[in-house]
Amino acid sequence: MFGILIALSLTHLLNDTLQSVITAVYPLLKEGLSLSFAQIGLITLVYQISASVFQPVVGLYLDKRPNPWFLPIGMTFTMTGLLVLAFAHTLHLVFLSVFLIGVGSSILHPEASRLTSLASGGKRGLAQSLFQVGGNTGGSLGPLLAALVIAPYGQGNIAFLSILALIAIAVMWPICRWYRFKLKVSRLRSQTRQTVLHSPLPRKQVIVSLVILLVLIFSKYVYLASLTSYYTFYLIEKFHVSVQSSQLYLFAFLFAAALGTLLGGPIGDRVGRKYVIWVSILGVAPFTLLLPHVDLFWTCVLSICIGLILSSAFSAILVYAQELLPMKLGLISGLFFGLAFGIAGVASAVLGGIADHRGIEYVYNLCAYMPLLGLVTYFLPDLKKRQA
């Protein structure tokens, strides 16, 4: 099972490496196609909508009709989108490319997250952290690849990244075989005994808890949208760094986010997910409030602290939601991944419009208050105490 978890994490790493190339090449696209910040936001919106709207649908469908071969199908969409992006010289082709890449993501995330839960052996927090750290590490590698491979040589070199998509399909093959065997065993067991899963809370409390979790997702991903989409532009405009240097600073932030994700799940298994959510959302507020008022060195330091703390939230939130509805793992995974992508897309488009009219620094002063919404964590039931 641990081998399957590592393979799923590696799959997530390769997928999110390719996905993060989109935001990493924004400066090249902006210069090459003479785009405004609002158009950059629209590119993100198209990508995030295609990567979010289909996720709950895919999750619900695979809960009812499990299929072991959906993972490589999703990666094929991603590979096609990358090839289109490499040779996209109009805004409409860019829209098409990011839409295809988003569809690939909408297939992979709910299915791979569901398989991670099935392979967790009861350590859901640890399993989701391993899965998430693969994605966050991949997200940090995208800007690094852009800085080393794409920025110096041009947009066409994005096509070479399709090799990573082929490697991902090869990694998915043993996962697909394992899941096919697991489905056969599950069908045999269902013929002899029936296992019914129940929520640990009454229906009304489940609904209230899910709403609170959605508010927390909103606060987290609105702020993250300001960093992942516009951090490079912020550094270039305020501190006059080069495009390549800005991508390296973005890599530092995303790498810190990957490390924080690895820590969040196991800590949640031990002390309870509610406490991890408390610290990761509300605890990051002092750093976000300081960020717009410091120099380049402290901007880098604070962004690393923000990435480290804030990233630990998602694994805890997702596993908490899965424990609320253990009979709907695919639907919950798709809903929360999809909502995260959707909020980030809408927020990116809105923030892009604000940046065009008020300036990029105003965006960071505005978003600094979003983590204060973490106060609603107080109203979440402590599932660990209830289970005890």
What is d(CA 153, CA 82) in angstroms, rounded to the nearest whole number?
16
SS3 content of the chain, % helix, strand, coil (to 5): 85, 0, 15
Distances (CA, A) of 305 to 112, 317, 362: 28, 20, 21
260 pLDDT band (50/70/90 cuts)? confident
Query: Can you give the pLDDT at residue 195?
Result: 52
Q: What is the pLDDT of residue 314?
A: 76
pLDDT above 70 coverage of the chain, percent: 95
- In CATH terms, is domain 2-387 a member of 1.20.1250.20? yes
**What does each C-alpha distance from 219 to 23, 111, 205, 208, 369 come to in angstroms?**
20, 25, 21, 17, 9
pLDDT digits (tens, 9 = 90+) for 90-121: 889 999 999 999 899 888 888 888 888 788 77
Q: What per-residue confidence (pLDDT) applies to 166?
A: 93
3-state class (DSSP) for residue 309: helix
Residue 202: what are its φ and ψ, rounded to 5°? -60, 160
End-to-end Cα, the chain, rounded Å = 26
Residue 258 pLDDT grade (very low, low, confident, very high; cuts 50, 70, 90): confident
**Is 228's pLDDT higher than 70?**
yes
> What are 295-332's pLDDT values in tens digits?
999 999 999 999 889 887 877 888 888 888 877 777 78
Q: Could you read off the pLDDT of 171-217 as tens digits, one per residue? A: 999 898 888 888 887 776 655 555 555 667 788 888 898 889 988 98
**What is the dihedral sign for C-alpha 226, 79, 165, 86?**
negative
Q: Which pLDDT band, with edges at 50, 70 and 90, does 288 fall under?
A: very high
Element of type H or E holding 272: none
The predicted pLDDT at position 327 comes to 73
Q: Is residue 122's pLDDT more than 80? A: no
pLDDT of residue 387: 60
**Residue extents of the structural domains in the chain:** 2-387
pLDDT value for 100: 93
Q: Hey, which bits of 266-327 come out as E strands?
A: none
- Per-residue pLDDT tens for 156-181? 778 888 889 999 999 999 898 888 88
Mean pLDDT for the chain? Answer: 83
Instruction: Please tell me which residue, 147 or 299, carries the higher pLDDT value.
Output: 299
Q: What is the mean pLDDT of residues 230-237?
A: 88
